Amino acid sequence: MADRIKSAFGPFTDARDVVAGQDLTGKVAIVTGGATGIGIETARALAEAGAEVVIAARKPDLAEAAVADIAKTAKGKVSWSMLDLSSFKSIRAFAERWGDRPLNLLINNAGVMACPLAYTEDGLEMQIGTNHFGHFLLSVLLAPNLVAGAKSGWGSRLVALSSIGHRRAPMNFDDPHFRSHPYEKWESYGQAKTANALFAVGFDKRFKDQGVRAFAVMPGGIFTPLQRHLPIEEQKAMGWLDDDGNPRAGFKTPQQGASTSVWAAVGAELDGTGGLYLEDLAQALPWTKDNPWTGVMRHALDPEAAERLWALSVETTGAGG
């Protein structure tokens, strides 16, 4: 990959260092799931650089605590707004409250991982329903706001958080909601993370000519509330934790895990590009068996699958056609 795009930073850079020296005053960002984990560190880094940041979250106590914490060092205004990505009603209400305000950055950070089989209030399997379809609806409803933000001359960006977990499964277009084949939590998660990457491809294709670019991000291995559904013994069996319960080498802190999202949002090296899968503050290399914990598989960037997923998402959400 001779023309691979890289930043000046290393994989374990703190998100604050990525944006250091930049002035984001006047820019507006939404971070879904911005109350905990890498979401709060993404919001913090952007706010400290002067951006107005709105945390979109479903738990008021966590959101209020996050706003109070970030506000201690923020240069930009920080607030929060209710958003439950497993509810189309909640998503539409969020977009209605947002109104016609221009938006520069939409960081689709929230997610659920490896949960037991469950369905959203709209009848969608919980992992793809929340991680992809919820974010799809939010993004297409806010697309006009991103376009308006791009007219400021700064450009607008959408960042969709994917994962190396995408290697576990491509999209199953025949049965995405596990209605006719047995549910397997990691297959479900893999499909959802593949969908996040494909969504960035589809969104970038549709809005790049209007000044909005989209990127998928693999943040790295980070211990956050995302692991809430995984028993410690399972995490040890997967090699994430050693026998003493300590993270294996290579795991990042939440501050380090937020760095690729922040670079995707503001990195000048990415100007004029889009639809890419980013990892460790660089464009990801193709996945190989020799290095299975990094890289991107072809099925996560397949333009035909991206179009098929977009059509399914329009049908499912009733938006974005």
Virtual torsion, Cα 253, 166, 135, 232, nearest 10 deg: -50
Identify residue 267 by its one-letter amino acid code: G
Task: Identify the pLDDT of residue 38.
Answer: 95
Mean pLDDT in consecutive groups of 10 residues from the start of the chain, 321 residues: 88 96 96 96 98 98 98 98 98 98 98 94 98 98 98 91 95 98 96 98 98 96 54 52 59 92 97 97 95 93 98 96 75
DSSP state of 129: I
Task: Identify the pLDDT of residue 293.
Answer: 83
Rounded mean pLDDT of the chain?
92
Task: Identify the pLDDT of residue 227.
Answer: 45
* Residue appearing with tokens 């993404």: 42
Contact 18, 49 (CB under 8 A): no
| pLDDT tens digits, one per residue of 238-276 | 555 556 555 565 678 899 999 999 999 999 999 999 999
Residues 6+ apart with CB under 8 A from 21: none
| pLDDT tens digits, one per residue of 24-44 | 999 999 999 999 999 999 999
CA distance linking residue 184 with residue 143, whole number of Å: 33
Task: Identify the pLDDT of residue 244.
Answer: 59
Query: Is-catalytic flag, 119?
Result: no
Which two three-digit tokens encode residue 14?
Answer: 């703190």
